[in-house]
Amino acid sequence: MSTDSYQTLPSMVPPEGSRLVVIGGSGGMGRVLVRAAEDIDPQVVAIDLPKSLEEFPPSDNVWSIACDATDESSVAAVFDAINDRWGAVDHVVNFVGFTKTRVSVENMNLADWQEVVDGCLTSAFLVARYSIPLLRRGDGPTLLNTSSTFGVLVGQSGYGAYASSKAAIINLTRALSTECNPDIRVNAIAPGLIDTEFLSGGTGRERRPSNLDFDAVVETLPMRRIGRPEDIAAMALFLASPAASYVTAQTIHVNGGLWS
């Protein structure tokens, strides 16, 4: 087989007209992705909690749907509505997830543990469960989950439920890729510390002090800066693009070199 022929490199963003679903579309990373997608002209639907959509509404050009991603009937209704309008989707990006006030596993009650696990992991299952049938009818379809640096590296105590859930996302992504190959590419993105509302509880959730010494944290990062939501949106668009057509089952770390 010849290896020296040259072909024009494919686009590093999804094609115009792509049907893009952004779960968590009003969050810090989600709304940057939605705006960036508008610039390259995909059809976009932003999905988030009612409070989040009210606080950070997308532009009039973006279809928005309120949804609780931990509730099966709510997720099913969203994808029924998308099916009715579009009949298929090309790309699904799932940014859903949060953590609560730091507390050790020893001192955590079951309700708080379950709330975080449902918000990070069960929601990812539900989004995958109800989006895959529509993705199978899409054009070059992709599903992108969100893990975290905490899924592989837990440098601080008090994040047991969150870290466990985000570690599980990595293997859920691998399992989904195996089940969906070769029709749907499934990957995950693992953000490091990103400057969004997540640091104070998350969009649409009760705010709490972040308790982060940003100057001290920056000193631990090889890139010497906190991540920006644009860093995540750019990688999400790349993973949905034709340029990433041979990338699946991967967790891509975007963390300024904190872990590799």
Residues marked as catalytic: 162
Q: What would the DSSP string read from start to end of 115-169? A: HHHIIIIIHHHHHHHHHHHHHTTSSS-EEEEE--GGGT---SSS-HHHHHHHHHH
Enclosing H/E stretch for 190: strand 185-191
Residue whose structure tokens are 């940014």: 95
Sequence-separated (6 or more) residues with CB below 8 Å from residue 56: 26, 27, 31, 203
Produce one character per residue of 150-182: b if its CB has 16 or more CB atoms within 10 Å, e if not: bbbebeeebbbbbbbbbbbbbebbbebbeebee
Tokens of 243: 């340029």
189-224 burial, b if ≥16 CB within 10 A, otherwise e?
bbbbbbebbbbebbbbbeeeeeeeeeeeeeeebeee
**12 contact partners, CB below 8 Å, separation of at least 6:** 237, 238, 241, 243
Helices (H), the chain: 28-40, 50-55, 72-86, 110-117, 123-135, 160-180, 214-220, 229-239
